[in-house]
Structure 1
Amino acid sequence: MTWHPATVISSRGASGFRQSHPLERKLANDVTTLLVASTGGHLAELHDLLPRLGLCDDCVWATFDSPQSRSLLDGQEVIHLPPAATRDLGGALRDLLAARGLLRGGRFSRVVSTGASVAVSCFLPASRHGIACHYIESAARRKGPSLTGRLVARVPRTRLYTQSRRWAGGRWRYGGSVFDGYQASRLATPRPVSRVVVALGTHERFGFPRLLARLLKVLPPEAEVLWQVGSTRVPRMPAGARVQVPYAEMQQAMREADVVVTHAGVGSALAALRAGRRAIHVPRRRRHREHVDDHQVELARHLDRRGLVVAREADALTVEDLVEAASWTVARTGSVGPFQWTPT
């Protein structure tokens, strides 16, 4: 892989981005908060939590370059770091080298991250320079911290927050959940299952062929389907399958859909909820080599108990489940309280 140093990108609206500049060039404004997250669910969480963090100063994002990050963060200043996959030591080291250059200039006084390994890469040089570090564990972690959470807990001057009351305690403070404020209600007249969005995530290492193969059997043949499949491959791929779909396009498609089917990732769940859809949430399983562990199982069960998703196993998904999901809508229930953290 060819490594490129981190670059600063200032978004200029829907028309695109201006030319990249090396980090060494002096930056003119007084931004103090660096928001760090890998793309996917981690970035979606931090983006949704940001209004509840109560930050008054300007913020800069540090993440990977992807259709999601360019669409979601359009209009904001973004620093693109070298991409790092799940448990990718080489990628984490490249991020560490980029973060050292980024954080040595004294521009930032605070770093906030929702993971994953890029949090460790940025927290290590930040702590060395006396910069406050704040780590918010993913809402998907219902039983305890992730590997990233356990690693950043060893970094000096790092404050730790969980989105699960279940294991809060000690240094881990419960701050609230990114899923707070959503409520599902049953429709008087269910929607027909005629427009469907399928979002299997964009992980380069882990596909989800069990779910894709099952959907090809149970989806009505006349349904109009947007397929976002990531790295998933099956012998007969559906027509129009796409590796990634930009954030804005995906949100619009979900708002117009009768049914949304997703893997049990935080980002996919949030996208469906924002679109007013109670998605069918299907967890990846470690025993099928669909992820590194079974945290998606816990998240699917948690959100199902809250009534925000219809949790189903990939091999058991039925037409009746599609009809059930089409019978619900989701809305915000008024204002949501601030995330409980200590920003200083």
Structure 2
Amino acid sequence: MTTLLVASTGGHLAELYDLAPRLGVQDDCVWATFDSPQSRSLLDGHEVVHVPPATTRDAVGALRDLVAARRVLRGGRFRQVISTGASVAMSFFLPAARHGLACHYIESATRTEGPSLTGRLVARVPRTRLYTQYPGWAGGRWRYGGSIFDGYRATRATGPRPLRRIVVALGTHERFGFPRLLDRLVDVLPPEAEVLWQVGSTRIDRMPAGARRQVPYAEMQQAMREADVVVTHAGVGSALAAMRAGRRAIYVPRRRRHGEHVDDHQVEMARELDRRGLVLAREADAVTAEDLAEAATWTVAATGTVTPFRWMDAS
């Protein structure tokens, strides 16, 4: 019987894609996610069901996904549903539980201190098994399964690296821009460098030439591999993309008080990855030319020794 892998696009999809081989389900699975350049590039060659997009705390979008989920789950093809969120998890878990399917919810790596709103909601759904990526808050029904970052290690390279190519990735969230960081980078980045600007909904008076709202996943990965330095907002998908490309990114959290996100989970994420040495965490108004030079002297590589995710197989 087939596993249905469910996630919204962005960091949630990037996490589930990285985790799938550690779950042992990638050979017999179907993906349910939103239609976006990222999902089309990342899941090329996989069986994918596109469902209506739902943004942060989007009740209408969640209801549309619930209707889509009922349609997808008809016919008895699936034995279990696995999701990393966000609200699309709840939309699929409700009908999945009614069909008697096992539901597995893996909380995002951004949640370093406790479950998200989605995590708290899906915990009320019967048959749902709950996983955290941090042992510090495991307990009760929440089981520690491991972290998507366990398989990466940063190493300092020898000597300075010239800054000829730079990638800036500010995310693609429709509701939240990051003008503080874009303003800072326009001042700090060397004018002679070739820069790929992926800015999402961010707009400032001094928009850099060539700024793009979205960049396809494959193109972004290639650009990061060829870059001397990567600067990104503190999203988990951006961190994973930079690490896969071998880059220790300058990692800048959005702040709730500036209207850049609904909460400060990116601050927690930046602290965690900086502690692991996998990023160089900085505040938006504190990025310097020295930070660019420092980040360029590091590489990140997969260790090749990561253990399977500690999850409860429903078979």
TM-score range, shorter chain: over 0.9
Residues 110 and 131 in structure 1, CA contact (< 8 A), matched pair in contact too: yes
Q: State the partner residue of 1:295.
A: 265
**1:95 counterpart = 2:65:** yes
Q: Secondary structure at the match of 1:114?
A: strand
The root-mean-square deviation of aligned C-alpha atoms, in Å, is: 0.8
**Structure-2 separation of matches of 1:218 and 1:278:** 18
The CA deviation string for residues 239-270 of structure 1, in whole angstroms up to 9 with x for no partner, is 11111111111111000000000000000000
**1:184 counterpart = 2:154:** yes
The CA deviation string for residues 1-42 of structure 1, in whole angstroms up to 9 with x for no partner, is xxxxxxxxxxxxxxxxxxxxxxxxxxxxxx521000000000
Residues 30 and 48 in structure 2, CA contact (< 8 A), matched pair in contact too: yes
Residues 53 and 338 in structure 1, CA contact (< 8 A), matched pair in contact too: yes
1:314-333 equivalence runs, <5 A? 314-333=284-303
Residue 327 of structure 1: CA displacement?
Answer: 0.9
Residues 33 and 57 in structure 1, CA contact (< 8 A), matched pair in contact too: no
Q: State the partner residue of 1:201.
A: 171
Q: Secondary structure at the match of 2:55?
A: coil
**Structure-2 separation of matches of 1:320 and 1:145:** 36
Query: Measured at CA, do residues 56 and 324 of structure 1 come closer, stay the same or move farther in structure 2, by a change above 3 Å?
Result: closer
Which amino acid in the other structure matches residue 193 of structure 1? L
Residues 113 and 135 in structure 1, CA contact (< 8 A), matched pair in contact too: yes
Runs of 4+ in 1 over 4 A off after TM superposition: none
Q: State the partner residue of 2:48.
A: 78
**1:63 counterpart = 2:33:** yes
Q: State the partner residue of 1:142.
A: 112
**Structure-2 separation of matches of 1:53 and 1:93:** 29
**Structure-2 separation of matches of 1:98 and 1:71:** 22
1:263-302 equivalence runs, <5 A? 263-302=233-272
**Structure-2 separation of matches of 1:189 and 1:254:** 20
**Structure-2 separation of matches of 1:343 and 1:239:** 50
Which amino acid in the other structure matches residue 15 of structure 2? E
Q: Secondary structure at the match of 1:170?
A: coil
Residues 20 and 26 in structure 2, CA contact (< 8 A), matched pair in contact too: no
- Which of 95, 107, 125 is residue 155 of structure 1 equivalent to? 125
**1:230 counterpart = 2:200:** yes
**Structure-2 separation of matches of 1:230 and 1:100:** 32
- Which of 190, 194, 199 is residue 220 of structure 1 equivalent to? 190
- Which of 199, 207, 232 is residue 262 of structure 1 equivalent to? 232
Residue 187 of structure 1: CA displacement?
Answer: 0.9
Q: State the partner residue of 1:4.
A: none
Which sits farther off after the overlay, 260-269 or 327-336?
327-336
Residue 55 of structure 1: CA displacement?
Answer: 2.0
Residues 190 and 328 in structure 1, CA contact (< 8 A), matched pair in contact too: no
The CA deviation string for residues 109-133 of structure 1, in whole angstroms up to 9 with x for no partner, is 1000000000000000000110110
**1:47 counterpart = 2:17:** yes
Residue 57 of structure 1: CA displacement?
Answer: 5.1
The unaligned stretches of length 5 or more in structure 2 are none
**1:108 counterpart = 2:78:** yes
Which amino acid in the other structure matches residue 170 of structure 2? L
Which amino acid in the other structure matches residue 201 of structure 2? S
1:236-251 equivalence runs, <5 A? 236-251=206-221
Which sits farther off after the overlay, 185-194 or 118-127?
185-194
Q: State the partner residue of 2:140.
A: 170
**Structure-1 separation of matches of 2:180 and 2:94:** 39
**Structure-2 separation of matches of 1:174 and 1:43:** 20
**Structure-2 separation of matches of 1:210 and 1:268:** 18
Which amino acid in the other structure matches residue 270 of structure 1? L
Q: State the partner residue of 2:279.
A: 309
**Structure-1 separation of matches of 2:180 and 2:195:** 18
Residues 38 and 217 in structure 2, CA contact (< 8 A), matched pair in contact too: yes
Residues 49 and 339 in structure 1, CA contact (< 8 A), matched pair in contact too: yes
Kindly tell me the number of residue pairs found equivalent between the two proteins: 314
**Structure-1 separation of matches of 2:150 and 2:210:** 35
